Amino acid sequence: MTLLVLSYLAGVLTLLSPCVLPILPFVFSRAGQPFARSVLPLLLGLAVTFAGLAMLVSVGGGWIVQANEYGRIAAMVLLAALGVMLLWPALAEHVMRPLVGLGNRLTAGADASGGREGTIAGSFIIGVASGFLWAPCAGPILGLILTGAALQGPSARSAALLGSYAAGAATSLAIVLLIGGRVYAFLKRSLGIGEWVRRGLGVAVLAAVAVIAFGLDTRVLTQWSLANTSRMEQALIDEFRPAGARMKGSASMMMSAAGRAAAGASAAQSSTANAAQPAGSNAVMAARPGAGAGAGNLPDEGGFPPLTGAVAWINSPPLTREGLRGKVVLIDFWTYSCINCLRSLPYVRAWAEKYKDHGLVVIGVHTPEFAFEKSLDNVRSAVRRLHIAYPVAVDSDYAIWEAFANNYWPADYFIDSTGRIRGHAFGEGDYDTSERLIQQLLADAGYRGVPGGLVTDRGTGAEAAADVDEIRSPETYIGYEKAENFGSQPEVAKDRPADYTVPQTLQLNQWGLAGRWTVYGEKAVLDAASGRIVFRFHARDLHLVLGPTADGKPVRFKVWLDGAAPGEDHGVDTDAQGNGVVRQVRLYQLIRQPQGVQDRTFTLEFLDPGVQAYSFTFG
């Protein structure tokens, strides 16, 4: 709310800028004339032009950031340029001269056509001209808002800030229309004050850019930026995901809200949101191949949906269902921070390698849960890190997910050589049945020399199969939108910093934060070093999705198990002393207990500020 008020006031203060003076005579000329024929068209013309120019700046800035890793540097350079223009209005006037000239030409045309009668067209053109003159005048100040938003991407909050700014500018114009010449005289007297305010802001902008550029405070840029993109993007994901938001699933799979409803109605999909099930109990909806079994024994679940809508393809040019005709296709829906997807990957990779020369095409469809999984760079990094060589469609807009009406991570769809879906498998486990189905479809397609036997690669590290008999702790989100069993004091302060403490004793599956944190909808961000996360859990493995600072700086951490170093119980991302570093946004395995499982208290201490924590999973 404070930022909205400040943006509104900044819009009002544009009235004090010297370059607003050229438009005031035209505004005054409409005062007292009919509202519908004169005043309203002028306001509409100004609003359309102002919004159009602001949109171009916002979209352009967002494109710069998304285009490549140098977008952040480009944004800081732009901020510095805006600061310089605030300090030297003559420079700003020179830079903005083309737009001002266009506005003047439009104004002259309006006077010739609209004349003194105040026609609708003439008033609208004057409004357009006013927008060209007003937007460059506001440019350096407005640019601070737009560039700050561009550093983290477009958001509903930055749109609200821009709307508040425009409302302030409109208020200034309304004052002009109501008070008329008295405002004009006041502006002339106040120009000196306006110039000093403008120059002071320029100095502050340049100082902030220097602090950020030299890394003196890793928190300055993210706090100064006027947008919280992760929360906004996550809200969009949950809003537009066809099957609803992902819920806490079983030990075998992650289910969407629609998947949970289907589970309650079908014994074949019997997982519930909080119940663990054996890894081998996922449903493979196809006839179990046996001696003499053929395609006629398999169900026909419909045609192969289109693969259009992916934002990018990795390891392959874009593939189409028409181009895949004659091949057996395995579509594997996954997302790289999903522990169930990671544990199924060894089998999917092995099938792709084993049958690639015998008619099988494996396509991974990466559909995100968290906002950071929409980043193409993050997905590419995960594909390399996980040694995935088969084609991956980056389905960040859920186009392919929706086409398949999918509800699960992971989910496999088996498509025969004629383009018909002949089976599907949801979740982990029952890999033998899935592989036999692949072998049958290849044989039915006429491929010869199809390898026999079954893949036995069970994976290592986080990809190792879960010990489902010992999992008594559910997936737990840290962001307040889905968090449960939070045990710290005080209660969560949404979207603002707070100092938290953890009680002396936690019940099983309670967790808490210690130190100064800001808790957002999908994550918590540490605001000061030496913050901790504590969890009382029961499982062989403990994983946590973590990310480095907002500007990519690594964060050191130390793991404690029941108050001591983990020793032989450390995970693949820590050593025996519990030391580790968060360098990428991904799932980290922090605990792996090779012998014996009991209730334990896990403590994760961060030695640097800025870490981003998302969710716990267990195995």
Mean pLDDT value of segment 218-230 = 38
pLDDT of residue 458: 72
Mean pLDDT, rounded, for 566-570: 96
For residue 160, what pLDDT is reported? Answer: 67
Q: Is 70 exceeded by the pLDDT of residue 69?
A: no
- SS3 of 593, please? coil
Q: If DSSP codes are grouped into helix, strand and coil, which group holds residue 390?
A: coil
Q: Are 238 and 244 in contact (CB under 8 A)?
A: yes
Instruction: Determine the pLDDT at residue 41.
Output: 75
DSSP-derived pairing of the beta strands 328-334 and 360-366: parallel
Model confidence at 607: pLDDT above 50: yes
Sheet of 328-334: strand order equals 312-314, 392-394, 360-366, 328-334, 411-415, 421-426
CB atoms within 10 A of CB 265: 8
Q: Are 609 and 520 in contact (CB under 8 A)?
A: no
**In the predicted structure, residue 479 carries a pLDDT above the cut 60:** yes
Q: Tokens 């710290």: give the residue.
A: 488
Among residues 172, 434, 131, 53, the alpha carbon closest in space to that of 280 is found at 434
Contact 366, 334 (CB under 8 A): yes
pLDDT value for 297 = 80
Using CA of residue 215, residue 219, residue 221, residue 224, what is the dihedral sign?
negative
pLDDT given for residue 267 in this prediction: 29
* In contact, 387 and 242? CB cutoff 8 Å: no
Q: Note the pLDDT tens digit of each residue in 376-427.
A: 999 999 999 999 999 999 999 999 999 999 989 999 999 999 999 999 999 9
Enumerate residues 6+ apart whose C-beta is below 8 A from 128. 45, 46, 48, 49, 103, 106
pLDDT of residue 77: 65
Higher pLDDT, 326 or 270: 326
Whether the pLDDT of residue 82 is over 90: the answer is: no
Over pLDDT 70: what percentage of the chain? 54
Under the banding of pLDDT at 50, 70 and 90, the label for residue 221 is very low
Distance CA 79, CA 66 (A): 17
Longest dimension (CA), the chain: 96
Band of pLDDT at residue 88, cut at 50, 70 and 90: confident
Per-residue pLDDT, averaged over 308-320, amounts to 95
Asked whether 346 and 361 are in contact (CB, 8 A), the reply is no
Under the banding of pLDDT at 50, 70 and 90, the label for residue 117 is: very low
With 0-12 / 13-18 / 19 or more C-beta atoms within 10 angstroms meaning exposed / middle / buried, residue 382 is buried
450 and 358 Cβ atoms separated by less than 8 Å: yes
Per-residue pLDDT tens digits for 10-65: 667 665 554 455 555 555 555 556 666 666 676 677 666 665 655 554 444 444 33
Distance CA(68)–CA(583), nearest Å, equals: 19
Q: How many angstroms separate the CA atoms of 154 and 13, rounded?
A: 25
Residue 371 and residue 341 in contact, taking contact as beta carbons nearer than 8 Å: no
pLDDT at site 461? 86
Show the domains of the chain with their CATH numbers. 2-227 (no CATH), 246-463 (3.40.30.10), 469-618 (2.60.120.260)
Q: Are 288 and 465 in contact (CB under 8 A)?
A: no
pLDDT score, position 269: 33
Residue 553 has pLDDT above 60, yes or no: yes
DSSP-assigned states of every residue in 414-425: EE-TTSBEEEEE
Q: Give CA–CA dist 554/329, Å, rounded.
A: 40
pLDDT averaged over every residue in the chain = 75
451 with 435: CB under 8 angstroms?
A: no
Handedness of CA 369, 605, 510, 271 (dihedral sign): positive
| The one-letter amino acid at 302 | G
